[in-house]
Every structure is written in structure tokens, then in C-alpha cells.
Amino acid sequence: MEARDGDTGVEQTQNRDDVGKMLYGCEHYRRRCKIRAPCCDQIFTCRHCHNEATSALSNPKERHEIVRHDVKQVVCAVCDTEQQFAKLCSNCGVKFGEYFCDICKFYDDDITKDQFHCNDCGICRVGGRDNYFHCRKCGSCYAISLRDNHLCVEDSMKNHCPICYEFLFDSTKQTTIMKCGHTMHMECHEEMYNQNQYRCPICSKSIFNMSSEWERRDQEVEATTMPEEYRYEVHILCNDCNNRGTAPFHIFGHKCRQCNSYNTRVITNGESHQR
């Protein structure tokens, strides 16, 4: 593009920056460059593409994940020039990504995600800096609504999702924190709800408000009288309040006398308690 009389060159540079915007990338990110993985010297569009490819290798010893901060070389997707990591292509001048982080070596043309870099996490997050805070004890960023409103579990995000087992800390999927303080992917949490699974897979505490369910269970227990030979008490441990106690044996569950929860487990069999 030739500069017109009176042009300062700024407009010309800005137009060049936008060449190919949102036209290149992969299923994970829209970006105008590829990265050369320092670990295996192969070229991939992003670290997720690399990790998916290497995790599928037949030889387990060859499987590995890229360290994002170690990336030093990128390849322009517009002119195919390989060069040192930078914001703009040294050959054609296009911007590799509308969002750019020189710490994470990260590019993305889709800025509707509201990306931001969290210095405490050490990586980029999505969702907007003003909408999140960093919990130092949990070791990750959470939605502002959870500030002073969640149970802290030290480094809870630096674990795998208990459902799909993907590492949570740098997952691109949304996560949620449960009442017990443990975390999992939002979609896994919703799937648990749809499958009527109400216990945390890690600590077994109830993760939903179960009051209406416990009332329904009360009605079922009251409406179903156990035969004489099954009318004995069992020792139970409550998963919700951690108290031990006794409860009448019943096929529909054993109610905690401390917190009225049916999320309990029998810790002795009932035979020694039969009359």
C-alpha cells in the first residue's frame, strides 16, 4: 500500500497490522503465527496442538508437554518467515496477535475473551482483569463473587479435575469452586448435576443445596416401614459434618442426627446391633 500525500505512515502501519486478522490459527486460538517447540524442534500452531500431538505418540517415553515460557522462535503464518519471538513479523510487519503477552509467549486475535496476565498465577487468564481476583492460598484466580465467599483449600487449582482429570491450573475451560473448597471444570460440575451425583469426588461432601432432597428422603423413610428383623441401629459417619453417630437402618438411607443430612456412610454392619 502506497502512502498518500500527507500520510504520516501511522495509518499505513496500522492497516498492515490487521492483515490476516482472525484468518489464521487453530481450534484453540486465532493467531497469525506458529511456534517452534523448543523441546522437540517441531512447529505447531499453539502449545495445545503440540501437547495433543505428543500425548498421542505410541512411545510413552516420547510423550511430553511444552513449557510455554521457553518458546523462542515463531513462524509468521502470512509470509512463512521464521524469526525470534516478537509482537510483529520482522519481514512483513503483520501483528501476530491482537492480544500479546511477552511473558507467556502468547498470541490471540480473538480479544472478546478479555485476556489478561496474572503476575501471581504467572500465566494469562480470560474473562477480564476487573472480574477476577487472585486468592493466594488457593493459588489461582477466581471470580470476584467468590472473594471472601469461598472455603480456601491450599493450591486447590494446582490439581487435576476429579472428573475428566485435566490439569486445572492452566486449563482453557471454565472452572468452579464447590462449597467444600475443591475445584473442577464447570462443564464437569454441570454433568454431575445432570447425573444426580451430589457428592464431591474428592471429599464426598454435598456440593449442592440438598435440603429439598433430604425432606423428600424423610417422607420416603416415614412411608416405608422396615420389617422387624431390620429394625436396628447402625453406626454412621456423616460426610457433610464429619460427626459420628447412630441411625436406624433403612434402605433409603441413614440420617445424621447432627445436621439432618443423608450423605452418610455406615461404618459397622448392623448384625451386632440386632435385638
pLDDT tens digits for range 52-106: 999 999 999 999 999 999 999 999 999 999 999 999 999 999 999 999 999 999 9
Predicted pLDDT of residue 196? 87
Predicted pLDDT of residue 139? 87
Predicted pLDDT of residue 14? 55
Q: Give the residue, 224 or 173, on which the prediction is more confident.
A: 224
Predicted pLDDT of residue 171? 83
Amino acid at 239: N
What is the percent of the chain with per-residue pLDDT over 70, rounded to a whole number? 92
pLDDT in tens, 208-264: 889 999 999 999 999 999 999 999 999 999 999 999 999 999 999 999 999 999 999
Q: Assess whether pLDDT exceeds 80 at residue 169.
A: yes
Whether this prediction's pTM lies above 0.75 is answered by: no
Tell whether the torsion through CA atoms of 184, 185, 186 and 188 is positive or negative. Answer: negative
Closest by CA position to 225, among listed 241, 244, 248, 204: 248
